[in-house]
Amino acid sequence: MPSSRPLRADARRNREALLRAAREALLAADDAHVEVIARRAGVAIGTLYRHFETRGALVAEVYRQDVAELCAAPARLLADHAPDEALRTFLLLIVEHAAVGKGMGEALESVLATESPVFDDARNEMARALDELLAAGAAAGLVRGDVDGRIVLRALGGICGLRAAGWKDDAVRIAAILYDGLRYGAPSPRDS
Amino acid sequence: MPSSRPLRADARRNREALLRAAREALLAADDAHVEVIARRAGVAIGTLYRHFETRGALVAEVYRQDVAELCAAPARLLADHAPDEALRTFLLLIVEHAAVGKGMGEALESVLATESPVFDDARNEMARALDELLAAGAAAGLVRGDVDGRIVLRALGGICGLRAAGWKDDAVRIAAILYDGLRYGAPSPRDS
DNA sequence: CGCGTAACCGGAGCCAGACTCACCTTATGG
DNA sequence: CCATAAGGTGAGTCTGGCTCCGGTTACGCG
């Protein structure tokens, strides 16, 4: 029932302008009120709501694009690295990704931590990407086999939602700890 | 400079009624709007705001009481268990604690994940409690020594903030992974 | 080219929910 | 008892997401 027909040219323009504006606003951080986004896109509020159910849906859509890109990484990483190393890198990649802007991290948190259907796509895609890495690691005997992508995703979602100053360094360290918990052969005594 | 004089009797009654009402409302979950809390305490909104700066401050105060109790646990645990086991138990205790009610978990998240000065007390106290366990574990050579309580607290804060259905099981598993990442001698291959 | 129509405009206005303020009410100590 | 400061009140403000609708514009098919 979606896609009655290809969208009129001006509608498509506006839709894209909105997405662009939203992305900029989210990167620029702090607020990103619907009105600001709409004005920045050069359209009226009503138009924004013509294209997106809610503010959250717009944000989700912006984020979905990034997520798709991010989810291409595992295949690439697995080609070049051992599965455990690939996993480690991907975890850091996610953190990095959430760090680009305040609003962006907020968005990631929404994607990861809620279960609103609006974010289902993005969430599933990311869980799948993680599963890919986890399965490869487990098959190689490097990563425990009793964890699925959904769980890891949630753990990361929590971490990335934090918005305190210096959170990124913390997030990186937490991701590292998480990684150690996921693989076999975690740090041995006296590594300090 | 605080405590000009001991608070008038009725003021004290109201303050306590508010805390009681807030706790009930938070346990009862979902909303806990200021108006609901105030009515439940039998006072007007203005009275609520006479006693607490913001809604968050009230929530924080409610939570501070529980935190104090929770923070007594490490000493007890260390007396009865090996440091690593004590740490594991404490992590689960925190998760458990966040699970008592929706609003409560939200409160914990605020305490753990934000850096608003309102929550400083609770946060410091919990970080201290965790430091106690981590230090004991590190001294015994069971836990890595490069992590402090603040980090662990943040990781937990993120996890406990999740409000999705079935989150508690997830939180428990994530806590377990985190624990494995914190200690030496994590699971060895083929435990599956 | 011309018409039917999808899309847009613009903004007044609704609603929820946190918070404020000008004005009463009452406990309390002298 | 009464003066008075501490306390209480609740209608109202503010913010920010979201809705609605009459009128206009730009597509794009035939």
- The string of pLDDT tens digits covering residues B162-184 is 566 667 788 888 899 899 999 87
Q: Please tell me if residue B42 touches chain A, with a CB cutoff of 8 Å.
A: no
Closest by CA position to A26, among listed A59, A66, A69: A59
Q: What are the tens digits of pLDDT across the range B102-124?
A: 666 666 666 555 566 667 777 88
Which positions on chain D have an atom < 7 Å from some protein CB? 6-12, 16-21, 26-28
User: Using CB atoms and an 8 Å cut-off, which of residues 104-123 of chain B contact chain A?
Assistant: 113-115
Q: Cβ–Cβ of B167/A155 closer than 8 Å?
A: no
Q: Which residue from A38, B37, B111, A51 is spatially nearest to A60, judged by alpha carbons?
A: A51
Residue B78 to residue B81: CA distance in whole angstroms: 5
**Chain A 30..89 CB hits on strand D (< 7 A):** 31-35, 45-46, 49, 54-56
Tell me: pLDDT of B1 over 50.
Answer: no
Residue A130 has pLDDT above 50, yes or no: yes
From chain A, pick out residues whose CB is under 8 angstroms from the CB of B167.
Answer: 154
Residue B101 has pLDDT above 70, yes or no: no
Specify the pTM: 0.79
Structural domains for chain A? 1-53 (1.10.10), 63-186 (1.10.357.10)
SS3 A83: helix
Question: Nearest CA of chain A to the CA of B3: how many Å?
Answer: 31
Query: Who wins on pLDDT, A176 or A162?
Result: A176
Which of B47-51, B106-110, B177-181, B186-190 holds the top average pLDDT?
Answer: B47-51
CB-based contact A34:A45 (threshold 8 Å): yes
